[in-house]
Structure formats: structure tokens, C-alpha cells
Structure 1
Amino acid sequence: MNRRSLLAGVGLCSLAGCLRLDQASGTSTRATTARTERESSTETVDGDAETTETDSTEDAEPTESSDAISLELTWRFSNQYVSHLAETDDAFYTVRSGGVEKRAVDGRRRWQKTELSESRHGGSVVADGDIAVVALEPSTESEGVRVIVLDDATGDVRFEHAAPSDGDHYSVGSVVLTDEVVVVATQGSGSGDDQRPRVTAIDRETGDVNWHVDFDDGFVSGLLPYENHLFVTVTDHVLDVDLATGTTNQRHDVFWGFSEPTVADGTVYGGKGPFEARTLPEFVEEWSHEPLADVSSQTSPLVAEGTVVFGTDAGHVVSLNRTDGEARWQDRVNGKVVGVERVRDAVWVLDEAGYAYAFDLDDGTRLYEERFDDERRRIAAIDDVVVLGNEAYRVERTAEN
């Protein structure tokens, strides 16, 4: 199979994407693909954006291939490299160089904050349409993580919270939002007593700290709110914490490592190996699946309709039946899985070797495979637009395999 880079003729060095499935038939061909470079100057007015664009387009020569995907570069975030990507139903967010930027699906800049922190390290962002929460990691271990809550419509800062500057809280473990609170896990590195993670619940209206819980050791990899419970996944156990008070209800001794689980319809899916489904809030095992390698800690399981999909450190892509854990399909990519995303009826996978793949969600048919720059391992998708790193692509299925 000819695997010449889809956009090599126009000089793109990195991409991945999501799939739009249209009805098509006949032989599989690769469509002529256009690269559009868009330079925008954007001014935010009352939470909206006015954009002036200059477009230049170069056409790549069509290449015969069994790939059923065409991609078109449509816009870019301001920063060349981003440390974190997130999306809501209608907007993308990126964290980079002490700031955060929000863009609509069509690329219009809603707002940008560039001087939230002097740090040039990473961080996380989550949003729900009312607020956007940015957790920024400091430049030195002697400082603590800064949590900044912004108005999601305008980008105006509502309040800030600083983790302790004691050498133990300079890294972001996880950030989640509920209707009442912002919950953030901060921690250090090292081993044993050097880790000392803290989970803090902050009132999302006032910025007051409702409670915090300190741990003796371990790393927090996930915060999973469910009803009045908060499930805190630590390296070798999961804590069921009262969401209102921070009091520990129960400890579950399961070793889920550094993987971040996913909650859907009252069930949590996760685990380093075995990979498990457990009923919430009881945390009772529904089924267990033993993968061929450890589940990748750089992704969360993808839950869609009747299936759950995850990747492994050894490059396996595994689809299981949500009801009983039976295997639906499995494939293997060229390196550790570092990104899993779904759009419509396809799963996109990124690996650490720099490859992007698309698989049919139902039967696992490999629809697409290309190698690109291996430095951009952040992926997010809305509808038929996917963002990898700082670049957004429109993705379309052009032919059936």
C-alpha cells in the first residue's frame, strides 16, 4: 500500500483528525487535498470575535491509496506548540506559555489571555460554557500551581487560587467541574513521601475553598464526580470521597496506575491491567479484560454507544463490548498510544512514533494511516473538525475501503 504522506506535497509536518462518514461507494481513492494558510487578526468584542483573514491555497497532486480520508488545514492557534487541548460542544481551548486561548469551531478567536502566569510550563484547562478553569504549572518546584477561573464568554478573570508553595504542589494531577465546585489535584514528583498530593474543592461562584484533602503518597491521575461522590484515582487505590465535605467514604484497593478512567452512564471504565468496568457508586466490578500490555497512561478510554476503546503502551487499540467486556476488534499501531478521539463513526488514534490512524468504530476497519511530526500529541475534535497541536483540520471520508 502506498503510504506517501497525504500532504507531503504541500509541506505539512503534523496532523491527525476525526472522521466524517458520508455514504460513498466504488474504488478507494485519495482526493486532491488543499492546504489553506490562514493568517488572522482577531479582536474580541462583547465575547464575540471579528476576524480578518488572508487565505492562500496550494493544491497537492492526488495520490491513489486505499485511505478513505481527505484533510484540509483550516486554521491555527496562535502558539506553535500547546501543552494541553480541551473542547466543549462548540469551542476549542489550548494552554501554552502561561496563557489560554479559546476558538470557535470555525477558527474565530473568542478570547485569549497571554499573561496569566510568568511560567512557560504546562497546565490544564476545562470549561462548561459558564466558566473556563486554567491550572498552570510554575517554573520552579518551590511554587504552587495557580488555578484561574475565567468567564467562559469573555475570558475575564473571576478569581484565582494558589496551591501551597512548599515544593509538593507544582504539578497538575487533574481538574474537574461540577455544578457547585471546581476540584483540582496538585502534587509533586519523586517517590514515597516526596509525592504528597492534595485535592481541593473550590466554590465556583465565590472562590472560597470548601475543603481539601492531603495524601501521604501516590499520584492522583483522575477525579471522577458522580452524584454526591468524588472518586479519586491514586496509583494503587481509588478513594470514594464525599463531594460536599471531603470526608472519605471508602477505599477501594485496585491498582489502576497512572491511567485516567472515564465515567459514562453510571459505570467507570479504567485500569492499567486488567481493564475493568465498575458500577458507581458501589464500585462493584461488572467485568474485567486482560489486555496484551499495560493500558496507556496518556489517554482516557473512549466510550461510545455500545463500545469502549482504549490503547496500550505497546500500541494495541482495543474495542470491547460495554455490556460484558467481550472483544469487538483489536489492531496494533507502531508505538505507544498517546491519543484517542472519536467523531461520528470512527476512532482516531495517535501513537508516539508520529502516526495518525482512523478505524471504523463498529468493525475496526483501518481507514487511514499516515506518519507526521511526532511532537504534536494533543488531539481534540468537534463535529468534522479536529485539532492536533495548534492546527485545525476539516476531515472527510472520500471513498469506501
Structure 2
Amino acid sequence: MRYTIFWPLLLLLAGCSAFSGKDNADPPSELVEFEPELRIETLWDKGFDDSDDTLLKLKPVYSNGMLYIAEPSGEVSSLDPETGERHWSVDTDSPLSGGPGVADGLIAVGTLEAELILLDGEDGGERWRQRVSSDVLSSPAVNDGNVVCRTTDGGVTAYTTDSGEKRWVYDRTVPVLTLRGDSSPLVSDSQVLAGFAGGKFVGLSLDSGLVNWEATISTPKGRTELERVVDIDADPVLVEGTLYVSAYQGDVAAVSESSGVVLWRRDISSHAGLDASWRQVFITDAEDHIWSLDATNGATLWQQKKLHARKLSAPAMVGDTLVVGDFDGYVHWLSQEDGRQLARIRVGGDAIRLKPLVIDEIVYVLDEGGTLSALRAHPIEAERR
């Protein structure tokens, strides 16, 4: 029998002595005043469905000049990124839980009812829908005539975009105790890259689903099943042939895309996730501290602790800054150079758990209340001149 830990419950358990050695969960850090170096402009905001399920990975994506967003109720919309105005909207009549994955003029979404749905990017018309092995809590990947779907039972399956025919399936045993959620698969150079509960990451052939390589990101540790939960739930980031992967109660690691060789790893637990460039890796850890690591060897460049326990999202790079959201609806700008706080703005009172989307230095943030906001930062010094 398999048991699933819901993330809000895990946050509570993380403060218990049986789990972490602490008597009580740490209270969130109070926000301190600082001299802002950026002025944040709200370009627009739009309301969409909220959800009682904080673990749905329904994050906005950008493709071919348009934003795409999927709502828990079943709506999928195409938006103008400059104004937020809807280009089109369709109702799939299914409770959506993963996606959208967008590429090649196609949109893929997954449902809580174990369905994979493919839509046309031009008008949202349904191409096909297929029954999958379990619910979908990650974004499907669309690439080169294939839709690759990750399901919560440990499966990765490839379907053809033209007919929805199943090409292959890769099954992996799920540990007895896991977090509820999955990392999204990536497709690159005819290879599917996917992480799993238990700390493993694999490279699969896009043509056949056969294993090209398997890497151990983290090994379970501890005496109890709860202490031994090691899950790769955050989405990996691929930069110039190197994968950057994080695991809850595990490590952050750099992995060769071609061979699966682990180039370096650090003992940093993360559920929220990371962002990376060829120079730096930025990660939000389990205590809501933000780290900057050297991308070549994992050495610490700086650590920002002033947002401790504020339930931060993964960081996203924008220009020479970082942005993260928190549990109280604030978006924080930090310097990539040293982690200092540059600005913040509150876009609403609802938590921001999804990694912000950055397009042409505009930051798109979706909170749990269903508000999508478009934000742009302006240097204050430049405005004074």
C-alpha cells in the first residue's frame, strides 16, 4: 500500500520533534524595511479560478507570443502578454491538475480524472483526449510529434500528437510514503528527462522509452519512513547540457544530460525548486533560505536568510535580479550578485507557490487566489536622473 503526504501537512510535520528535532515550527520572518533600489510597476492583473488544492501545477506558460493558462475548473485560455486580454478560452469539462505544456502550436493538459488532453494552440479546439494510468500533477511535455506525460503512479508515457496513440510507457515503483506531486518531464535531444520519488533521475529514449541512464540524486536517510522521504518534485532546469535537480530531504545536484554522471551535489533540501544559468544556481531550500551556488562546482556564493519560513516559491531570474513569491502574496526582488533585497510588492493576500514566469524582463505571478499579475521593475536611480 502507498501513502501520500500532502504538502501543507508536511510543513506542519516538519516542525515536530519526531521529524526534525524542533519543538515547534518556526514562525515566518517579519518583513524589514530597506531602501528600495527598484520601483515595481503592475502592468495588469486578471482573475482566474482559485483552487483548494495548493499542489496543482497549473502554471502559466509562454509560446509564440501568447500566454497560456489552465484553470482547475477546466478552462484553458490564450492571453495577450502585454494586456492580459483573452484571445480565446475553452472549457475542457474536466478538473485540470497539470500543465499546460505548450510547443509546436499544441497545448497539453492533465486532469485529476486520469486524462491527457491535447488542444490546438490557434483556437483551443480539442485534438484528442486519452485515458492515462493515474492523475497528472505535472506539466506534460510536447516535442517533435510526441506528448510525454508523467503520472502520479510513477509512469512516464509518450503519445503521438497526431492521433494520441500510445508509443511507449516507462513504469517505476513508487515508495510506500511520498509527497503528493511530481516534477515535470523535459524533452531534449531525443531524450526524456524525468525525476522520481526516491531520489532517482532518468534519461529515456524518446523513440522507445528505454533507459539511457539513471542517476542517484539523493539517497533516503533516517530511521522512520517519514524521515526517509526523498522526492524530486520540483521541475529540473536544463542549461547547456547540464541538468540542475533538487530533492526534498535530499540534495541539489548537477547532472550531465548526455551521460547521467553527477557532476556535483550539495546537501540542500528543496521542495520549491530552483533556477540556473551557466554561472549560478539559485535555489529555495526547505527553510525558505535562498542560496546562490557556483554552477560549475556547487560552491556557495551567498545565502539570503531574511525571508526565513515565508513559504517561498522557487526563484526566477530576471535580468541581473531574482524574484520569489511568498505565503502572504508578496513578490520579492533580490540581487543575483549578493542576495540583498532590492524591492517588494504585494499583489494580493494569497500565497504564491508557483515559480514566477519571466518573459522579456516582465514577471508573471499567479497566486492561489487565481490572480495573474504582470510586473515590471524599474531602477530608481535611473528614474531620478
Normalised by the shorter chain, which TM-score bucket? 0.7 to 0.9
Aligned residues: 314
Contact 2:79 2:87 (C-alpha < 8 Å) held by counterparts? yes
Counterpart position of 2:208: 245
Once residues 323 and 120 of structure 2 are traced to their aligned partners in structure 1, the CA distance between those partners, rounded to angstroms, is: 31
Once residues 265 and 398 of structure 1 are traced to their aligned partners in structure 2, the CA distance between those partners, rounded to angstroms, is: 30
CA RMSD of aligned residues (A): 2.6
Contact 2:328 2:352 (C-alpha < 8 Å) held by counterparts? no
Residues 173-196 of structure 1 show CA distances to partners (whole Å, capped at 9, x for unaligned) of 442122131100112xxxxxxxx3
Aligned counterpart for 1:312 among listed residues 279, 285, 302: 285
1:135–1:311 distance in 2 versus 1, CA, 3 Å? same
Larger radius of gyration: 1
Counterpart position of 1:86: 60
Query: Match for 1:162: what amino acid?
Result: R
Give 1:108 deviation, angstroms: 2.9
1:80–1:386 distance in 2 versus 1, CA, 3 Å? farther
Once residues 49 and 213 of structure 2 are traced to their aligned partners in structure 1, the CA distance between those partners, rounded to angstroms, is: 44
1:240–1:385 distance in 2 versus 1, CA, 3 Å? closer
Write the mapping of 1:174-185 to structure 2, written as runs, cut at 5 A.
Answer: 174-185=139-150
Counterpart position of 1:344: 319
Once residues 72 and 271 of structure 1 are traced to their aligned partners in structure 2, the CA distance between those partners, rounded to angstroms, is: 32
Q: Which moved more, 1:244-253 or 1:176-185?
A: 244-253
Contact 2:158 2:166 (C-alpha < 8 Å) held by counterparts? yes
Counterpart position of 2:81: 105
Matched, 1:325 2:302: no
Once residues 245 and 383 of structure 1 are traced to their aligned partners in structure 2, the CA distance between those partners, rounded to angstroms, is: 37
Query: Match for 1:103: what amino acid?
Result: L
Matched, 1:281 2:243: no
Query: Match for 1:383: what amino acid?
Result: D
Once residues 302 and 186 of structure 2 are traced to their aligned partners in structure 1, the CA distance between those partners, rounded to angstroms, is: 28
Contact 1:377 1:388 (C-alpha < 8 Å) held by counterparts? no
Counterpart position of 2:372: 391
Give 1:302 deviation, angstroms: 0.8
Contact 1:199 1:213 (C-alpha < 8 Å) held by counterparts? yes
Query: Match for 1:243: what amino acid?
Result: L
Once residues 353 and 73 of structure 1 are traced to their aligned partners in structure 2, the CA distance between those partners, rounded to angstroms, is: 17
Contact 1:358 1:367 (C-alpha < 8 Å) held by counterparts? yes
Contact 1:357 1:370 (C-alpha < 8 Å) held by counterparts? yes
Give 1:214 deviation, angstroms: 2.6
**Structure with the larger RCO, 1 or 2 (CA within 8 Å, 6+ apart):** 1
Bigger strand fraction: 1
- State the identity %: 21
Residues 225-270 of structure 1 show CA distances to partners (whole Å, capped at 9, x for unaligned) of 3323323211122233222111234433332623332111111111
Query: Match for 1:87: what amino acid?
Result: V
Give 1:394 deviation, angstroms: 3.4
Once residues 151 and 379 of structure 2 are traced to their aligned partners in structure 1, the CA distance between those partners, rounded to angstroms, is: 45
In structure 1, stretches of 5+ residues that fail to align are 1-63, 139-143, 188-195
Once residues 155 and 118 of structure 1 are traced to their aligned partners in structure 2, the CA distance between those partners, rounded to angstroms, is: 15
Counterpart position of 2:217: 254
Once residues 240 and 202 of structure 1 are traced to their aligned partners in structure 2, the CA distance between those partners, rounded to angstroms, is: 17
Aligned counterpart for 2:135 among listed residues 151, 170, 175: 170
Contact 1:88 1:129 (C-alpha < 8 Å) held by counterparts? no
Once residues 192 and 266 of structure 2 are traced to their aligned partners in structure 1, the CA distance between those partners, rounded to angstroms, is: 25
Give 1:136 deviation, angstroms: 2.2
Give 1:347 deviation, angstroms: 0.6
Counterpart position of 1:225: 187
Counterpart position of 2:4: none
Normalised by the size of structure 1, how large is the TM-score?
Answer: 0.71
Query: Match for 2:377: what amino acid?
Result: E
Write the mapping of 1:292-311 to structure 2, written as runs, cut at 5 A.
Answer: 294-295=269-270, 297-299=271-273, 301-311=274-284
Contact 1:313 1:337 (C-alpha < 8 Å) held by counterparts? no
Counterpart position of 1:212: 169
1:252–1:287 distance in 2 versus 1, CA, 3 Å? closer
Give 1:305 deviation, angstroms: 4.2
Counterpart position of 1:360: 335
In structure 2, stretches of 5+ residues that fail to align are 1-32, 219-229
Query: Match for 2:252: what amino acid?
Result: F
3-state SS of 1:319 partner: strand
